[in-house]
Amino acid sequence: MSRLGNIGAKLYRGEVGYDFVKNRMIWYGISVLITVLALAGLGFKGLNMGIEFQGGALFTTPPTSVSVQQAKEDAEEASGHDAIVQKLGNGTLRIQVGGLDTSTASPVTKKLAEDLNVPADKINTELVGPSWGAQIANKAWTGLAVFMVLVVVYLALAFEWRMAVAALIALIHDLTITVGVYALVGFEVTPGTVIGLLTILGYSLYDTVVVFDGLKEGGKDITKQSRYTYSEIANRSLNATLVRSINTTVVALLPVAGLLFIGGGVLGAGMLNDISLSLFVGLAAGAYSSIFIATPLVADLKEREPQMKALKKRILAKRAAEAKSESGDGSDDPQDAVPAAAGVVGQRPGRGRPTQGKRR
C-alpha cells in the first residue's frame, strides 16, 4: 500500500488525525478575511458582465495580424463605447461592444473592416438586446435561488436543520469567493460562468454530504455513551474522509487547470476562460469549505444543545476521574484530562481500533 494509502487507513481507523474542530476559529478567521477581500473586489471593481446580460454586439473577425490593443482602440473609436477584445487561438479576434443595436452595429462593422484590413462580409456580427440580457440574468438568479432552497430542504429532511444551515453557509462562502475572484481578475461573466457556478455548488455539496453521512452514523445514540463528545465524533468523521476529499479535489482540479491555463491562456479560447475560472476557484473553495467550515459549524451548533452540554460535562468528569486515578496527583480539573484522553490528534499509542472494547 502506498504511503498516502497508509495515512488514509490510519485516519479512517482514528489512529492519527488533526483536530479541525478544535482549531475552527482559525479557519473561520481565514474565511472571513478571504470573504472580505472578495467583497471588496466586487464593490470596487464590479463584475464585467458579458453582452448576454447587458446587451450589445459581438464581432468575430477572420485571422488578422492586428494586435489586441490596436483592435480595442479601433473598436472604441468606431462605436464610441468601451470594447473588450480577445485574441483566439487561430488569430481571429473576438470584439465585444456594449450599447449597440441593429442600426448602429452595421456602421461599426464597416469601420472595423477598414481599420483591421479585413473584408466586411467576413466579420461575423451577433446582437443581443438589453431586455433579453436582463431576462437571462433574472433567470440565472432564479435558478440559483431555487437550487439553494432545494438543497436546504433536502439536507434538513435527510439529516437535520443544523447540517442544512452549515451547508448553506458553506455554499454562500464558495459563491462569494468565486464571484469576488471574477471581479478582481476582470474575467467576463457569461452563461458559461453561471454553468460553472452551478457545477461547483454540486461538487461542494458532494464532499459536505459525505462527511455529514459519516457524522450522522457516528452520532447515533451518542448520549448513551461516555467516550466521545459530539465535536470529537465530528472530527473523527472528517478525518475518515479527509484523504478521499483531497484525492477527488486534486483529480478534479487537474483537468480544469488544463482548461484554464492551456485552453484559455495559451490557445486563447474565450468561453473556456469564463467557465474554467469559476470551476477552478469554486472547486478549491468547495473543498476548503467542506473540511474547514461546514463540519465545524455543525459541531458548534450541536454543542449548544442541552443534552450535548450534559454529555460533554459527563465525559470530562469521567476523564478527570480516570486521570486522577492513574496519576494519583489529586487533580480535579476536568479540562486537564482532555488532551490525554480525547485521542483525536496525532498518534494514539497502545490502542487498536477505536471501536473495540466495551463502551460505558
**How many Å from the N-terminal Cα to the C-terminal Cα in the chain?**
35
98 beta partners: 56
Give the mean pLDDT of the chain: 77
CA distance 52 to 190: 7
Count CA atoms closer than 13 A to 77's CA, side-chain side: 12
pLDDT level of residue 224 (50, 70, 90 thresholds): confident
CB 38 within 8 A of CB 180: yes
CB 256 within 8 A of CB 279: yes
CB 162 within 8 A of CB 23: no
What are 105-115's pLDDT values in tens digits? 888 888 888 88
Q: Please check the confidence at residue 164 and state whether its pLDDT lies above 50.
A: yes
CA distance 14 to 348: 8
What are 53-89's pLDDT values in tens digits? 777 888 888 888 788 888 888 888 888 877 878 777 6
In this predicted model, which residue has the larger pLDDT, 277 or 296?
A: 296
Q: Please check the confidence at residue 126 and state whether its pLDDT lies above 50.
A: yes
Q: Please check the confidence at residue 4 and state whether its pLDDT lies above 80.
A: no
**Which pLDDT score, from 0 to 100, does residue 15 have?**
61
What are 128-160's pLDDT values in tens digits? 776 666 777 788 788 888 888 888 898 888 888
Q: Which of 173-187, 227-241, 261-275, 337-351 has the lowest mean pLDDT?
A: 337-351
Q: Please check the confidence at residue 8 and state whether its pLDDT lies above 70.
A: no
- For residue 125, which of 114, 112, 109 has the smallest C-alpha distance? 109
- Number of Cβ within 10 Å of residue 311's Cβ equals 20
CB 55 within 8 A of CB 132: yes
* Mean per-residue pLDDT, 165-182: 89
What are 295-351's pLDDT values in tens digits? 899 989 988 888 888 888 888 888 888 888 877 654 444 444 444 334 444 444 344
pTM of the predicted model as reported, rounded to 2 decimal places: 0.72
**Which pLDDT score, from 0 to 100, does residue 297 have?**
92
- Number of Cβ within 10 Å of residue 177's Cβ equals 23
**Which pLDDT score, from 0 to 100, does residue 96 have?**
82
CB 213 within 8 A of CB 290: no
**Which pLDDT score, from 0 to 100, does residue 272 have?**
67
Apex 352 CA angle, 350 and 356, nearest 5: 125
What are 15-58's pLDDT values in tens digits? 666 788 888 899 899 999 999 998 888 888 888 777 777 778 88
- For residue 292, which of 170, 151, 148 has the smallest C-alpha distance? 170
Residue with the three cell numbers 455539496: 205
Cα dihedral 354→355→356→360 (10° resolution): 100
What are 192-219's pLDDT values in tens digits? 788 888 787 777 788 788 888 878 887 7
pLDDT level of residue 6 (50, 70, 90 thresholds): low
**Which pLDDT score, from 0 to 100, does residue 264 have?**
60
